[in-house]
Amino acid sequence: MTTRMPAPAVPIETGLVRCRWCTDDPLYVRYHDTEWGVPSRDPRHLFEMLILEGFQAGLSWLTILRRREALRAALLDFDPLALARTDEAWVQDRMQDATIIRNRLKLRAAGANARAWLALPDPVGLVWSVVGGQPVVHHYAVQEDAPVAGPEAEALSRLLKRHGFTFVGPTICQSYLQAIGCLMDHTTDCHRHRALAG
């Protein structure tokens, strides 16, 4: 298992306009300013975000961010090879860990999704196929203009389910595609929109 160093603290610039969903919590601001909507083709990052989006179901994303490092430790550094070997005893052990989101179905899904991910000949290509291989840049004035689940999310959900993934409904897939930069959905007044709109 690899050990990741914590991401360096990035100074938070004040006085910048951000997407309205971003609170003033420093963890949220850092995620918004440095990760959300940035195109990623790193298979490990794409897998991690897919698992985290599944864990978020029914919770706030800030809850996930606050427990991300604990989840990373508990979920074997989001290594699909390691997660694919997990079993019910492993799930039961994680259910005793109060630092993570203790949900038996989500823990089982992490293992099942790792096995499904490894079975894909090109998981990165599959994810990016729903946007034709390039980020789709939107120009939403307010976040409410963005669909809860657009056609790309519907397509990805169908693809992933066909390959045996769980916790990959259209709403989860919409959030996932936004997070990994397949959909660039920073609002037009946000300081990140200009940087990522290209």
Per-residue model confidence (pLDDT) at position 84: 98
Task: Assign a CATH topology to domain 26-197.
Answer: Endonuclease III; domain 1 (1.10.340)
DSSP code of residue 11: P
**Catalytic residue selected from 28, 36, 48, 53:** 53
The question of whether 53 is a catalytic residue gets the answer yes
Per-residue model confidence (pLDDT) at position 37: 97
What is the per-residue pLDDT across 63-86, written as a single tens digit (0 to 9) for each?
Answer: 999 999 999 999 999 999 999 999
Per-residue model confidence (pLDDT) at position 198: 77
* Of the candidates 123, 133, 130, 121, the residue with the CA atom closest to the CA atom of residue 39: 133
Q: Which helix (H) or strand (E) holds 67?
A: helix 61-74
With a cut of 50, say whether residue 8 has pLDDT above it.
no
Per-residue model confidence (pLDDT) at position 11: 53
Sign of CA dihedral 106, 107, 110, 113: negative
Q: What is the 3-state secondary structure (H, E, C) of 76-136?
A: HHHCHHHHHCCCHHHHHHHCCCCCCCCCHHHHHHHHHHHHHHHHCCCHHHHHHHCCCCCCE
For the chain, give the percent of residues with pLDDT over 90.
91
What's the whole-number mean pLDDT along residues 27-38?
A: 96
**Gap between the Cα atoms of 78 and 71, Å rounded:** 9
The question of whether 35 is a catalytic residue gets the answer no
The question of whether 31 is a catalytic residue gets the answer yes
pTM, rounded to two decimals:
0.92
Confidence grade of residue 132 (pLDDT, cut at 50, 70, 90): very high
**Catalytic residue selected from 31, 90, 128, 176:** 31
What's the whole-number mean pLDDT along residues 92-112?
A: 97
Q: Do the beta carbons of residue 83 and residue 110 sit within 8 Å?
A: yes
Per-residue model confidence (pLDDT) at position 12: 64
What's the whole-number mean pLDDT along residues 112-127?
A: 98
